C-alpha cells in the first residue's frame, strides 16, 4: 500500500497508476491497487480522513469502491492519463476541473475546527475531480515527460529529466557502452591482425 499523506504523494501515485500494465497484474497487485485507490480518496480504517492533505475536501464515495471491476479501473486509468497528459507543459494552464454535475457538495465544519467541503458521489467522478484539483494546484513546470521512456512524472528538482532511476541507469549504461566501443573494436582488430596465417603445403 502506498503512502499518501499529501498532494505530492497522491500525484506521484496517480502517475504510477497510469503506467501500470493492468492486463498483467497479479491477484495481490490488484488488491493493492484497489486499496491504493481508496486511500487516494481519503479512505482510512473506520472512514475517511478529512484535511488539507486532500485539498480541503471530505470525500464520500458512492459505488463499488471496495471491489471495482477490471473494466472500471481500466477506464479510470485512461481518464487519469488524459488529465495528466494535459498537465505536461503549458497545457496545464488550460486544464478545466471536472464538472460537479454528478457530485453533491456541502460546506461542513465550524470556526474552531475549520471548514471543509464535503463531496459525495460516484467514486470515479470523485477520483477524477480530486486529481484535476491536485493538478491545478501544482506548479505547471513540475509535470514532465521522461526523456527515456516518455512516461509522465512529477519533477523534484529542475535538473531531473528521467522518471525513475532505472531509466537514468539505462541511459548511463548505453553511453558507457558507446564510449568503450571504439577501444573494444580496436583491440579486436589488433588481435585479429596479430594472428599467424598458416601456409598451405
Q: Which residues of the chain have pLDDT under 70?
A: 1-2, 44-56, 89-101, 110-114, 140, 184, 192-201
Helix (H) or strand (E) holding 125: helix 123-137
CB contact set of 54 (below 8 Å; sequence gap of 6+): 10, 41, 42, 130
By the 10 Å C-beta count (0-12 exposed, 13-18 middle, 19+ buried), 90 is classed as exposed
Say if CB 75 and CB 131 are below 8 A apart. Answer: no
Taking only the tens place, the pLDDT of each residue in 128-170 is: 888 888 888 777 678 888 888 888 888 877 788 888 888 989 9
pLDDT of residue 50: 47
pLDDT of residue 52: 43
Amino acid at each position: 500500500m502506498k503512502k499518501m499523506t499529501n498532494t505530492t504523494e497522491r500525484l506521484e501515485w496517480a502517475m504510477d497508476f497510469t503506467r501500470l500494465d493492468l492486463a498483467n497484474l497479479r491477484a495481490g497487485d490488484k488488491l493493492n491497487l484497489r486499496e491504493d485507490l481508496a486511500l487516494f480518496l481519503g479512505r482510512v480504517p473506520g472512514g475517511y480522513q478529512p484535511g488539507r492533505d486532500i485539498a480541503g475536501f471530505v470525500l464520500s464515495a458512492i459505488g463499488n469502491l471496495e471491489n471495482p471491476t477490471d473494466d472500471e479501473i481500466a477506464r479510470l486509468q485512461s481518464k487519469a492519463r488524459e488529465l495528466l497528459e494535459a498537465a505536461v507543459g503549458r497545457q496545464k494552464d488550460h486544464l478545466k476541473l471536472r464538472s460537479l454535475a454528478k457530485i453533491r457538495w456541502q460546506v461542513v465544519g465550524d470556526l474552531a475546527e475549520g471548514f471543509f467541503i464535503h463531496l459525495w458521489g460516484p467514486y470515479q467522478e470523485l477520483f477524477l475531480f480530486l486529481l484535476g484539483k491536485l493538478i491545478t494546484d501544482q506548479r505547471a513546470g513540475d509535470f514532465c515527460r521522461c526523456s527515456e521512456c516518455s512516461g509522465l512524472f512529477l519533477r523534484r528538482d529542475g535538473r531531473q529529466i528521467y522518471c525513475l532511476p532505472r531509466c537514468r541507469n539505462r541511459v548511463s549504461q548505453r553511453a558507457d557502452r558507446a564510449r568503450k566501443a571504439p577501444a573494444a573494436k580496436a583491440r579486436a582488430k589488433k588481435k585479429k591482425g596479430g594472428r599467424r596465417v598458416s601456409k598451405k603445403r
